[in-house]
Amino acid sequence: MADEHTGNSFQFELRIDGSAGTLAAAGAAVRAMAMAAGLHPDRSTRFRVVIEELVREALDREWEGDVPEVAVRVHTGGGSLAVEVSDQALPLTAAESRSAPSRRLAALGFVDELHIASHGREGNVATCVVGVAAPGDNLGEVLDESAPDASDDEAEALVVRPMSIDDAAGLARCIYRCYGYTYKDPALYEPRHIAHALRRGLMRSVVAVRPDGEVVGHSALVVQRAGDPVPEAGRLVVDPRFRGHHLADRMAAVRMDAARDGTTPGIWAQAVTNHPGSQKEVAHLGGLEVGLLIGASPATVTMAALDNENVGRRTLIAMYTPIERPPRAISMPPAHAELLKTLARELELERTQLEAAAGSGTTRVRAIVVPDTGVAFVRVERIGTDAMTRIARELDGFDAFDLGAVHLDIPLIDPAAAAFATDLERLGFCFAAWLPEFAPSGDVLRVQRVGSHPVDVDHVICARSEGERIRDYVVKDWHRVRRGVSA
C-alpha cells in the first residue's frame, strides 16, 4: 500500500491478492476517498460498486501463478476522481467483455467515463472517472427568450482576453444561462473542473467579459489527453443577448493567436449544424470542412434562443485549420483517395501516396467510452496482423453501452492503413473525417460506426458549399456501407 498527498491531488495504491477482506477493504478505501474529495455519499457508493466489480472480475480470470494480484490506484484532484484497476491475468475474451457486470454498471451511469486499454506485457487496465462535485445551485437562471438584445455600445464594451482561473465560476454560470443543464460537457458546470483543466493545459480558453465581470462568451482549445498535438477548437458559447455582434469572431482571433506558439501544427473543430455560426467562425480563420460526424451529439443538447429540431442524435461537421504545413506521405484508402487529395490541395498541405504494406506484429489500441455523450473513441496506434479481430473484440465490449457512435482513428503513416480502412467497412465503419497531424505520428483517418439510435442528417445546416460537399459525401458513404456495397 502506498499513499501520497500533494496539494489537491492524492496518489493511492492498493495491491489485492484475493484473500479474505481485501476486496471489501479496497472498496471501502475508494469510497472514503471519494467522499473526502467531495463526491455525494450515494454516488460514492455506486462508484465503490463498480471498482469492486472490476477487481472481482480481474481476480476471477485465469492467472499464470498461484496467487493473483490486482493493483488499484486512486487519483483525485481538480474536481475529478480516477481509479485504475490493473492486472496481469489473461486478456478478456469478446464474450467476457460483452457480458461483464462492470460494463453494464458503467452504462447505467455509475461512472462518468470508462477507459479501456490493453498494454501488452503491462497487463489489462480499466480506468473509471467520475466528477466529484455536482452542479451547484448558485448558477443563476436560464436566460429567458424575452431577454432584450445587447446594444452595439454594450457589445463594444466587452473585453475579449485569455481566460484566467478567476473566471471559472463566471464560465459555469454562462454555460447554465445559455444551456440549462443540457450542455454536452458537464465539467463546465463545475468551477473546480474548469480550473483543473486550465492548470493542466487540457484547455486554453478565451472569454468575453462585461465591465462588471460577467462572462458572456467563451471559446477554447481542448485536448482529450495531455500531449495530443492538435487541440480541438470548441466549447464555443455566446450569450444569446450578444449574438449578431461578431463576438465569436473576436474570440476566435484571440484563440488563434494563442495557437501560434510554434508547437501546434493546426486546430480542429466539431461545429454544430443547427446553425452556421461556428462553421463561419472557423472558415473565417482559414479552416476547411474535412468530415461529418453522424449522431455524435445527444439529441438532448438544446441552445437558448435557437430553433432545436429533436428528430434524433445531432450531427457535427469536422473542420481543420492548418498552422504548420509539414509534407507527409500517407496511406490513402482507394475509396477516399480523391477526396483526401482535394482536401489537401485546398488546405495547401503536401500529401503523397505511401506505398502499401501488410500489417505486422500485434495491434495496439486505446479506447475510451463516454456514457454522457454516448460515443466511444478508439485510437489505433499500430496496425498488426490481428487488427480486425482486435477491433471486433472492442466492439463486443461496447455492447453494454448502447452507443450512438464509435469513432475509430487510423494512423495514415502506417503502410497498412489503406487496406485496414477498407476492411473495417465489414464491421460497419464508414468515412468520418480526415484529421491532419492529429496523432504524434501525423495524419489520422477517422471512420465511424453509427449506432441504432435515430440520427439527424436531414437538418444539417452548412455555412457554405464546402460543407455541403463533405456532408453529401459522408452521408452517401454511410448509406453505401450500410447496404454492404463495396466502393
Verdict on whether the full-model pTM lies above 0.75? no
Which cell is 287 given? 479552416
Q: Is 486 exposed, middle or buried (0-12, 13-18, 19+ CB in 10 A)?
A: exposed
What confidence score (pLDDT) does residue 451 get?
92
Task: Give the C-alpha separation, 486 to 163, whole Å.
Answer: 49
Q: Is 364 exposed, middle or buried (0-12, 13-18, 19+ CB in 10 A)?
A: middle
Residue 417: closest CA among 447, 397, 390: 447
If you write DSSP's letter for every residue of 195-237 in order, what string do you get?
Answer: HHHHHHTSEEEEEEE-TTS-EEEEEEEE-SSTT-SSPEEEEEE
What confidence score (pLDDT) does residue 4 get?
44
Contact 114, 106 (CB under 8 A): yes
Alpha carbon dihedral 248, 280, 268, 179, in 10-degree steps, equals: 50
Which cell is 275 given? 446553425
Contact 284, 249 (CB under 8 A): yes
What confidence score (pLDDT) does residue 120 get?
66
The number of residues making up the chain comes to 487
Task: Give the C-alpha separation, 403 to 400, whole Å.
Answer: 8
Which cell is 114 given? 470508462
The dihedrals phi and psi of 411, each to the nearest 5 degrees, come to -75, 115
CA angle 339, 287, 282 (to 5 degrees): 135
What confidence score (pLDDT) does residue 87 get?
86
* Tens digit of pLDDT at every position of the chain (487 positions): 444 444 445 577 888 877 777 788 888 888 888 877 767 677 788 888 888 888 888 888 877 776 778 889 888 765 678 899 888 887 766 566 667 788 778 877 788 887 766 666 777 888 888 876 544 446 667 776 667 889 999 999 999 999 999 999 999 999 988 888 777 777 788 888 888 889 888 899 999 999 999 999 999 999 887 788 999 988 889 998 998 899 988 998 999 988 888 889 999 999 989 888 889 888 988 999 999 999 998 876 555 445 556 578 999 999 999 999 999 999 999 999 999 999 999 999 999 999 999 999 999 998 888 877 889 999 999 999 999 999 998 898 787 777 899 999 999 999 999 999 999 999 999 999 999 999 999 999 999 999 988 998 998 999 999 999 999 999 999 999 999 887 7
| Phi-psi category of residue 144: left, alpha or beta, with phi > 0 → left and psi -120 to 50 → alpha | beta
Alpha helices in 61-156 (DSSP H): 94-99, 101-107, 152-156
As beta bridge partners, residue 406 has 376, 449
Helix (H) or strand (E) holding 437: strand 430-439
Contact 124, 91 (CB under 8 A): yes
What confidence score (pLDDT) does residue 304 get?
47
- pLDDT one-digit tens code per residue, 279-312: 988 898 899 999 999 999 887 655 544 555 657 8
Residue with cell 466529484: 132
- What domains lie within the chain, and their CATH numbers? 2-131 (3.30.565.10), 135-263 (3.40.630.30), 265-487 (no CATH)
Pairing type for strands 70-77 and 80-87 reads antiparallel
